[in-house]
Amino acid sequence: MSFYHSTRDYHLRDLKTLGWELTVCNSLQPQDSPCRAVLKRGNSYGNLLYDFLDRLLPMESVGKVLEIGGGYGYLMRDFLNRNSRLQACMLDISPALLNRQRENLKPFPVRYRQEDFLETDTASLGEFDLAILNENLGDFPVLANIENKSPGCSPDAPAREVKRIFDAYGLEEPSSGPFNFNLGAAQAVEKLCSSGIRCLFLSEHSCEAAAPGICARLRVRSTGMPERISLYGHAEYTVNFSHLQKIAARFGYASMRGPLADFIEPDFTPGLIFIITSGATVRDEHEIIRQFVEDLYQYEYLVLQAG
Ligand SMILES: C[S@@+](CC[C@H](N)C(=O)[O-])C[C@H]1O[C@@H](n2cnc3c(N)ncnc32)[C@H](O)[C@@H]1O
């Protein structure tokens, strides 16, 4: 039996802190973070991302930028410090996190919208040049344990919506077994692309990750199908980026995709290689670093640009 998984109530009512789910952005925030020390360029997430996007996108012509699910607002604070022409809007379902964003972005003239992005009106997105969704697509709804995506005239609206999306974008159903589908992530990309926003950046825990060379020794999982991850007070699912890429391609978007390590580059010194390859953890800090480097390969990004 399939079931509809949603984190809406958790984000609206229960979420008070992101302390339980350390995001890559938050791991890099403290200037003395041990995670910064193992990078070729030890810097904040927002600065590393800004430089990366500046190489791929016409950042000089970006004016209005929308961040969906901006957490504590650190990424946007870096962007606004880097480029005073940017006009930012933060859209988030969580009242608690919007308050944190208001505090951290106080010096800047930022607009705030408390909304569930799945309910956001597509027409209200057309004004933006760039939208950023960092580590939140896994929070969006999932239809889990689907046995057959073609349930005829199912009375179940999510099942009908899954069938519509598979048919509209030519997505392939897994050859065997029940499967999970990132329904909310697919609807979000469909909405963003149909709104006509020229540039998009998405990143999330991938179910198709790859770790090359020495990083094959890390615990990077690649199951090909969204997997459930239990977290404090809620669960999320890893994301199938191939599906999102196909949806964006149908709207004429060119895409670039890879692991976060493309722009948060580890410096493979003998010390880091020891941490990656040694089974035993000698110090707590080594475990923090190993998990961080795992995340740099477990998380993928997608940069989309309208054709
Ligand atoms: C794991 S946090 C990531 C925060 C930040 N982007 C980072 O990387 O540190 C997920 C964020 O997405 C927001 N979010 C989750 N579901 C959402 C939804 N349906 N609509 C809008 N925001 C949502 C959460 O409130 C939170 O700000």
Tell whether the model's pLDDT for residue 153 goes beyond 60.
Answer: no
- Please give the share of the chain, as a percent, with pLDDT higher than 90: 86
Query: Which stretch of 10-24, 49-63, 193-207 has the lowest confidence by average pLDDT?
Result: 10-24
Give yes or no for residue 26 CB within 6 A of ligand 1: yes
* Phi and psi torsions of 199, nearest 5°: -130, 135
| 28-46 mean pLDDT | 97
Tell whether the model's pLDDT for residue 38 goes beyond 60.
Answer: yes
Q: Please check whether residue 216 is in contact with residue 277, taking contact to mean a CB–CB distance below 8 angstroms.
A: no
The alpha carbon of 139 and the centre of ligand 1 are apart by a number of angstroms equal to 7
The alpha carbon of 271 and the centre of ligand 1 are apart by a number of angstroms equal to 34
Edge-to-edge order in the sheet of strand 64-68: 111-114, 87-92, 64-68, 130-134, 199-205, 299-306, 253-259
Tokens of 304: 């989309």
- At 151 the pLDDT is 56
Probe target for ligand 1 pocket from 136, 137, 203, 232, with the most ligand atoms within 8 Å of CB: 136
Q: Please check whether residue 222 is in contact with residue 268, taking contact to mean a CB–CB distance below 8 angstroms.
A: no
Residue closest by Cα to atom 14 of ligand 1: 69
Residue closest by Cα to atom 19 of ligand 1: 116
pLDDT in tens, 47-86: 999 999 999 999 999 999 999 999 999 999 999 999 999 9
Task: Give the confidence band of 175 by pLDDT, cuts at 50, 70, 90.
Answer: confident
Give yes or no for residue 68 CB within 6 A of ligand 1: yes
pLDDT in tens, 238-267: 999 999 999 999 999 999 999 999 999 999
**Using CA of residue 65, residue 67, residue 73, residue 79, what is the dihedral sign?**
negative
- At 173 the pLDDT is 85
State the average pLDDT for the chain. 94
Residue closest by Cα to atom 24 of ligand 1: 69
What is the span of the domain harbouring residue 208?
3-306
The alpha carbon of 268 and the centre of ligand 1 are apart by a number of angstroms equal to 31
Amino acid at 189: V
Query: Which stretch of 188-197, 217-226, 260-269 has the lowest confidence by average pLDDT?
Result: 217-226
Query: Which stretch of 114-123, 253-262, 269-278 has the lowest confidence by average pLDDT?
Result: 269-278
pLDDT in tens, 71-82: 999 999 999 999
Residue ranges of the alpha helices (H) in 196-283?
241-250, 270-277
- At 259 the pLDDT is 98
Task: Give the confidence band of 5 by pLDDT, cuts at 50, 70, 90.
Answer: very high
Give yes or no for residue 21 CB within 6 A of ligand 1: yes
Count: domains in the chain: 1
Give yes or no for residue 92 CB within 6 A of ligand 1: yes
CATH for 41:
3.40.50.150
